[in-house]
Amino acid sequence: MKTNWQTKKLGEVCDFQNGFAFKSKLFKETGFPVLRISNIQNDGISYNRLVFFDKKNYKEDFDKYQVLKGDLVIAMSGATTGKLAICNADEVFYLNQRVGKFKPKKDLSKDYLYYFLSTRVEENLRISAGSAQPNLSTEQIRDFEIPFTPLPEQHRIVKILDEVFDKVAKAKENAEKNLQNSKEIFESYLQNVFANPGKNWEEVALGNFLKLEYGKPLDKKDRKANGEYPVYGANGEKSRTDKFYYNKPTIIIGRKGSAGELNLTENKFWPLDVTYFVTFDNKKYNLKFVYFLLSTLKLTRLAKGVKPGINRNDVYLINVFVPNLREQKAIVKKLDALSVETKKLEAIYKQKLADLEELKKSVLKKAFRGEL
């Protein structure tokens, strides 16, 4: 660290305001908006599910609890403990309890503070608060140590970080677009295969060539983390077990909850009672072809009820076109080859996104070691 840098406690260079203990039973659908810990999400403020209060219900002077545009706030408990956000709305909000607001003194740049806290607050403050029940106190925050340097140097560092992060954000945007495009290439080809059946394809109702069999409950004592066989729920593997209910390769379809979700399995397995598993004549139909076919039907749209569920009779009524087994296998071969290439591209773009995140962390660490 450079010679003109010091280490200070945050409370020496920044005031901190904790929120007010509003009474939840007095929250209203209109009035003055309250900023709660649940509103602090992903480096920003979510304005969904806001609650409101009426100042007439309290004797408190609420000026000190105001959150104005540009204010830096932090969640101090719950699942979002340590999350930071800068208010970007013109509307005035009011801090609820367990939401804190930083008020940097004249020799501390707010942007410098934000960048520093974004590198350390979740790691250090959450650890100091205890991971079992994440919770930050005002004292912990004020005692947090921050590398401190004169204001001109803070501004210089912020300028560099702004420029780097702007370039990283643009690079991430491009990588995310490329990732999405690679996924859409496969999806487009898949949809095109089944949207343009050949002349020799036969039209048939799903119920005439496959059956959806009910899964079965499995006692918790039979579920093991290192069991030999997978236990499938509606949206994928939930556990393991040393028992199996079905011993042939098949497709599992979510019946309740994540209704319509598909999973392909080629091993012995146990399907829970929130699932169906598919049976059919494998002398006439190829498993992977049936899986690809079902994936184009968007079965999730058939889900009904408070806890979404699919009635198998609704699935049976869907008409599809199916070629002979030889052509099914040829189609699967092409789709598998394209899937392999698509996954290679996806892996490249995902790695690029991960590398960009690491670059951000690396630059931030250098910034607060005085190495920029």
- Edge to edge, the sheet with strand 84-86 lists 14-18, 99-104, 72-75, 84-86
Rg over alpha carbons for the chain, rounded to the nearest Å, is 28
pLDDT at residue 38 greater than cutoff 60: yes
pTM over 0.75: no
| Residue, of 128 and 331, whose pLDDT is higher | 331
CATH topology of domain 6-147: Adenine-n6-DNA-methyltransferase TaqI; Chain A, domain 2 (3.90.220)
Residue 142 has a CB neighbour count (10 Å cut-off) of 14
The angle subtended at Cα 214 by Cα 309 and Cα 289, nearest 5°, is 85
- Percent of all residues in the chain with a pLDDT value above 90, rounded to a whole number: 79
DSSP-derived secondary structure for 306-354: TTTB--HHHHHT-EEEE--HHHHHHHHHHHHHHHHHHHHHHHHHHHHHH
Helix axes 325-367, 151-195, angle to 10 degrees: 180
| Residue, of 41 and 27, whose pLDDT is higher | 27
Report d(CA 105, CA 150) in Å as an integer: 13
Report d(CA 231, CA 245) in Å as an integer: 9
pLDDT at residue 62 greater than cutoff 90: yes
Structure token pair of residue 151:
């204001």
Please report where in the chains the tokens 């899937």 appear, as a residue. 339
Residue 282 has a CB neighbour count (10 Å cut-off) of 13
Q: Which of 206, 216, 201, 205 shows the shortest CA–CA distance to 255?
A: 216
257: alpha, beta or left? (left if phi > 0; alpha if psi -120 to 50): left
9: phi then psi, degrees, rounded to nearest 5: -80, 145
Report d(CA 328, CA 335) in Å as an integer: 11
Q: Which of 199, 112, 197, 179 shows the shortest CA–CA distance to 151?
A: 112
For domain 202-322, the CATH class is alpha beta
223-280 pLDDT, tens digit each: 998 999 999 999 999 999 999 999 999 999 999 999 999 999 988 999 999 999 999 9
Half-sphere exposure of 285 (CA within 13 A, CB side): 25
The residue ranges of every structural domain in the chain are: 6-147, 150-179+330-372, 202-322
Same fold, 6-147 and 202-322: yes
Torsion, Cα 37 42 43 45, to 10 degrees, reads: -50
69-116 pLDDT, tens digit each: 999 999 988 877 888 999 988 899 999 999 999 999 999 999 999 999
Report d(CA 236, CA 260) in Å as an integer: 11
Report d(CA 328, CA 286) in Å as an integer: 6
Determine contact, residues 257/275, Cβ cutoff 8 Å: no
277-323 pLDDT, tens digit each: 999 999 999 999 999 999 999 999 999 988 899 999 999 999 999 99
70-82 pLDDT, tens digit each: 999 999 888 778 8
Report d(CA 176, CA 180) in Å as an integer: 6
